[in-house]
Amino acid sequence: MTSSPHSSCRPASRHEMHGRGFDHPRDTWVANMEATCALLIALGSLLSFGVYTGALSGTGVVGWAIDCLFPLQFPVFYFAAGFLYQRYRSTRTRAAWAANLRREAVVLLVPFATFTMLTLLVNTAAATGRTFSAENLASALLIQPVEPLGYFYTSFLLFAITPTVISRRGAHGLLGAALACKLAIVAVLSLPACAPVAAALPYALVSVAENWIWFAGGMAIALFGALPLLRSREKAWAWGALWIAASVITFMAGWMGEAAHGILDAIGIIWFVALFSAAFRSGIQDAFFGFVSRYTLAFWLIAPLGLKLLAAALAAAGIAADAALWLWTPVALLVCFGLPVLVSVALESMGKAAAVLYPARYLPPVPALIEKKGVN
């Protein structure tokens, strides 16, 4: 039987993170920025694993990275999602909004459901965290996602509540609403008097309120054509220096909280955008990122699972991780950065099995109803 374009596996797209499927040179910087974030998330999983096993101290540089650097990566993902959404989609009518949401449901919720189940199963095998049961699975899918899979859950909700904008006035209104939500949730989660209210808030409301501003910011940058204002190596160095100084001071002073993270994330996103849009301004891809960007999703989804299984294996073998740093470190590095590639390649060799990571490859072409024309 001859496979059709709709059922056969298409080549990996630079935008598998969002299912856009476009390989325009202007977007090379977005793909590489996300790939870097994925590598940093995998590294964060490795350091957290070291702290969990007692092999590393959770203070000093490691503590700073875990508290400041690694949490920045998902706001960058939300920004990139909003940027590409505004750049390639038009959802101003009810029919277009519904068509786009149906597509996003596949792109986002297939890996979300798959890796939620895998995470609970791995937790059961490793005897850690939420274990697998019908109740826990339903809760993780509908109410309280397991981390870091809340990104898919929240992204779907953001697409559901945010149509693309067509005017500067609309963009200003969207940014104003998103900023108001951010300020409100920061206040609720920070003020002691609001603690009872904060404890009762559902995950969906908290996560959307926290991250809508980054998604809307990406949309605004795309609509306003403001990227040239940020695209500069000098500005990247300046914003990077500001973020590092501010994060170090905040960490050492013990000021970590919702407000501090919000400010650091805003500075960090500008830093990353300035850095990558300047470094890849030509749109020419290099060999390293050409390889890594094929596995963006795999790095941050598979690495944590592999490390949990590694911890369980060390415990079963009676190996104290804190006393065998030389032994498990090379294995942990391979699990973080080699296993995701091996799993992706294996899935790709099995045909449609790769859909659990890259469902966009198996979808029909984007309907004209939602595809933005004239993108160059």
144 and 205 Cβ atoms separated by less than 8 Å: no
Output the six-digit token pair for 370.
């939602």
**Which pLDDT band, with edges at 50, 70 and 90, does 315 fall under?**
confident
pLDDT in tens, 24-64: 778 899 999 999 999 999 999 999 888 887 778 888 999 99
Least confidently predicted of 115-129, 230-244, 353-367: 353-367
209 and 244 Cβ atoms separated by less than 8 Å: no
Q: What is the pLDDT of residue 133?
A: 93
Distance from chain centroid for Cα 14: 15
Going by C-beta distance under 8 Å and a sequence separation of 6 or more, which residues neighbour residue 358?
Answer: 12, 16, 297
Going by C-beta distance under 8 Å and a sequence separation of 6 or more, which residues neighbour residue 339?
Answer: 302, 303, 306
pLDDT in tens, 133-170: 999 999 999 999 998 999 999 999 999 999 999 999 99
161 and 204 Cβ atoms separated by less than 8 Å: no
The structural domains of the chain, with segments of one domain joined by +, span 25-362
Q: What is the pLDDT of residue 354?
A: 86
Least confidently predicted of 74-88, 252-266, 318-332: 318-332
**Which pLDDT band, with edges at 50, 70 and 90, does 12 fall under?**
very low
Place of tokens 């109410």: 143
